[in-house]
Amino acid sequence: MQSEILTVVVERYDPERDKAPRLVTYRVPRQEGMVVADVLLYLYEHEVPDLGFLWECRTRRCGTCAMRVNGHPVLTCSEPVREDMRISPLEGLPVVRDLIVDRQELQERLAPWAGETLDGSGKDARILLEPGEIAHYRALSECIDCFICDSVCPALAENAKGGPQFAGPRRLIRLEAQVQRRAEPLPWLMYAAQSNPSLCTRCFACTEECPRELRPAEAIGSLTKRLYDRHELDPHKTAHITSFVRSILRGAWLDEFRLLVDIYGIVGVAKFIPQALRMLRHRKLPKPHFGKTAQASDIQTILQDLDNRS
Ligand code: SF4
Ligand code: SF4
Ligand code: FES
């Protein structure tokens, strides 16, 4: 039986007062059909007038209400309430106040191409889609900018540590949509190349968490393949892809030693010796593998078949 009163823990943070987020417990009367945004509105109207949170459309269209409930990113305007909820801001983005995160820096990564026509004429050559392609294109173009995919992306989190910057799944799914509908996609592919899609780790967290089921990881795979096929990616950034493919074609086995040599060169591999010794000490160093796996010919036949179809 459902309780009449919901116990809700809200992660609160006031940058002028708090050194770290603090957890505050509230009790909220449950109502029929209540969603998480209703809980926040109740708190704002009855108990916590300074509670910071955002929402606009309440119809899953604007993306502003994205937060985490018990660690899981959701659109709070459509997420049903449950017992013992902990409501937190999206992870991976700076917190402005309570449940509001700063989307500005990631939003600016859509520049310079957002809203632009590339030839400056106000017109841009587009292609007519076949009826069978429309559903696929709509799926790509229905991103609501909720930032959930960016918030769970480990490759984007790595950016903070320096090195080549990955633009994130939200930007890349839009670029793939632009490329698909343009008669001349090259300028858009150049923007895509600058976004470093090959830094995606293929963890699929963005696809798993997207509330619109848009499959950004697959869109990035498609974009990366287009760039790879057109040799538009920096060869250094694609060395691992080339090596991986060669390795699978050779023996249906990922040869991690050769992967390192292909990416860094024989001299460059020397810098990994201390790390390799540490791994050896902890028995984490992969064993060298020579020859082919038992299923090599089956795997190679499948790859060949896929190649013929693409
Ligand atoms: S699949 Fe790629 S883009 Fe998606 S969350 Fe993982 S690393 Fe990020
Ligand atoms: S791709 Fe999905 S998760 Fe990412 S911003 Fe768009 S709607 Fe949100
Ligand atoms: S309030 Fe707009 S998507 Fe939730």
Q: What is the CATH number of the domain that holds 128?
A: 1.10.1060.10
Number of domains in the chain: 3
Contact 74, 68 (CB under 8 A): yes
First to last CA, the chain: 54
Return the minimum-mean-pLDDT range out of 122-126, 138-142, 194-198, 287-291.
122-126
Burial of 177 (0-12, 13-18, 19+ CB in 10 A): buried
* DSSP codes of every residue in 136-166: HHHHHHT-----HHHHT-HHHHHHTT-SSPP
Is 239 contained in some domain? Answer: no
Is 295 contained in some domain? Answer: yes
Same domain, yes or no: 116 and 206 = yes
Return the minimum-mean-pLDDT range out of 40-49, 114-123, 136-145, 250-259.
114-123
Residues 6+ apart with CB under 8 A from 296: 251, 252, 253
Whether 25 shows a pLDDT value over 70: the answer reads: yes
Same domain, yes or no: 217 and 269 = no
Q: How far is residue 129's CA from residue 63's CA, in Å, rounded to a whole number?
A: 27
Same domain, yes or no: 41 and 67 = yes
Is 219 contained in some domain? Answer: yes
Contact 90, 151 (CB under 8 A): yes
Q: Tell me the mean pLDDT in the region 164-191.
A: 83
User: Which tokens in the block code for residue 213?
Assistant: 């089921």
Whether 110 shows a pLDDT value over 60: the answer reads: no
What pLDDT was estimated at residue 234? 62
Same domain, yes or no: 145 and 191 = yes
User: Which among 102, 129, 152 is the end of a domain?
Assistant: 102
Whether 305 shows a pLDDT value over 70: the answer reads: yes
Domain around 304 = 245-309
Q: Who lines ligand 3 at CB under 6 A? A: 55-58, 60-65, 75, 77
User: Which among 206, 233, 260 is the end of a domain?
Assistant: 233
pLDDT tens-place string over residues 26-43: 999 999 999 999 999 999
Q: Tell me the mean pLDDT in the region 93-117.
A: 75
Is 190 contained in some domain? Answer: yes
Same domain, yes or no: 224 and 280 = no
What pLDDT was estimated at residue 255? 77
pTM to 2 decimals? 0.77
CA of 66 to the centre of ligand 3 (A): 7
Is 140 contained in some domain? Answer: yes
CA of 126 to the centre of ligand 3 (A): 31
CA of 176 to the centre of ligand 1 (A): 15
Strands 66-69 and 72-75: antiparallel
Torsion sign over Cα 154, 93, 169, 109: negative
pLDDT tens-place string over residues 210-265: 999 999 999 999 888 888 777 666 666 667 777 777 777 777 777 777 777 877 77
Same domain, yes or no: 221 and 253 = no
Q: How far is residue 136's CA from residue 132's CA, in Å, rounded to a whole number?
A: 8
User: What is the CATH classification number for the domain harbouring 75?
Assistant: 3.10.20.30
Q: How far is residue 306's CA from residue 310's CA, in Å, rounded to a whole number?
A: 6
Ligand 2 lined by 214 (C-beta under 6 Å) = yes
Residues 6+ apart with CB under 8 A from 43: 8, 10, 26, 28, 51
Burial of 305 (0-12, 13-18, 19+ CB in 10 A): exposed
Ligand 1 lined by 214 (C-beta under 6 Å) = no
Sorting pLDDT into bands at 50, 70 and 90, what band is 272?
confident
Q: Mean pLDDT of all residues in the chain?
A: 83
